[in-house]
Amino acid sequence: MSNSARFFFGNLTLLALFNVCIPVTALAAGQQLQASGMKSGPYTLTDDMIEARASEYVMRRFPGEHLIPVRILSGVRNPGTYYLPEGTDLITAVALSGGLTPTANSEKLHWNQWATQKSATLDLGDAVAEPQKQNPKLGANDILMFEESKPWISNNTVVLVSIITGVLSIALGAKALTK
């Protein structure tokens, strides 16, 4: 392994000890990493990186830990692929992805299990209420998707009504000025 790769993964491991979920694409782009004011080598985790909403994230508790990919595709603030330690449970994965969006339905979580080729619909509320029974461990390549409710009026409709209202206001104002 080259010195630059060893330095990169050494700093990545150091940050992971603080249970920081790091956006991988931001790291690959060479951005700075800073965790709550602490610096680790030249990398610092900035608010800009968090707002960039990278599509891949890594969470590691200690060096050499085996990570599995889990895809959280809808209903969470930061959807994407998460590389998590083996044995990570459902609640932890949802928390690492930023929690639910306001439109997500916590009672309709679709969980596709790669290893068994099975699908299940879970209620996140049950998992929180009874974590020993309802909080399953995720496996490699599992996919999680929350159903999301659709708004009654779309953003496009609001924009269209705003434009029409603006045009009518200008036309009526011009007509009033010409009298």
CB neighbour burial string for 135-148, b if at least 16 within 10 angstroms, e if fewer:
beebeeebbbbbee
Instruction: Note the pLDDT tens digit of each residue in 99-110.
Output: 999 889 999 999
Mean local confidence (pLDDT), 114-121: 89
Instruction: Note the pLDDT tens digit of each residue in 11-21.
Output: 433 333 334 45
Does residue 152 register a pLDDT over 90? no
Confidence (pTM): 0.58
